[in-house]
Chains A and B, each alone.
Chain A
């Protein structure tokens, strides 16, 4: 069964600190992996997308990594800001016709001043 597991479920850090969120998946065959940011009361917004051949991709202070061999991805946030407080969702797409997306449960990040 296709699954996406994220850890930790929740995280509290101080403003200015770095943090890393983890995503492990068992989806097959793999097509791509996206990280979404979801602010409270809003829909998710895509941060990065990674395909099989990509190891690292950055979007400002967000850096995603992908290890397709171990089926692991991480999202690293540098110099956190209060506005980074949100849920971060890992989504993996299967290489099949139709909408074959598997969503992780998300990591709820709170950045405190």
Chain B
């Protein structure tokens, strides 16, 4: 079974803090994704990566950066957390090529106070 794990289920941070969200997948998938999920807005893509050290902006990259130093790990970084970044963050991975299912992690609920 594909397994995508995220470092924290719940996280509370203060405004201005630097926040790291970690995601690890164990299926040697080329592609990895970070989404945020907000009520009424659905999932929105922040960044994705199709290979080590490669990254592409999604629909809402502002205020975020990512790092992919190893194939199995994709990190989302909030350089200076703000209250409008309070959200559920979901990581996903899938094999390279098109049409494959994305496998999601359990999510990290981040609250910025």
A25 in the interface (beta carbon within 8 A): no
Which residues from chain B contact A46 at a C-beta distance below 8 Å?
A: 101-102
Report the separation of the CA atoms of residues A9 and B31 in the bound assembly, to the nearest whole angstrom.
31
Q: A41-B107, A44-B104, A99-B31 are in contact. Are A93 and B99 (CB under 8 A)?
A: yes
Docked complex: B54-108 residues within 8 A CB-CB of A: 56, 58, 90, 92, 98-99, 101-102, 104-107
Interface residues on A, range: 20 to 34
Stretch at the interface among A54-62, A64-72, A76-84, A101-109: A101-109
Closest chain A residue, CB of each to CB of B99: A32
Q: Apart from A9-B40, A43-B105, A49-B99, what are 9 other A-B pairs with CB-CB below 8 Å?
A: A31-B98, A32-B99, A41-B9, A43-B106, A43-B107, A99-B33, A99-B48, A101-B45, A105-B41
Show the binding face of B for A, using Cβ within 8 Å. 4, 9, 31, 33, 40-45, 48, 50, 56, 58, 90, 92, 98-99, 101-102, 104-107
Show the binding face of A for B, using Cβ within 8 Å. 4, 9, 31-32, 34, 41-46, 49, 89, 93, 98-99, 101, 103-106
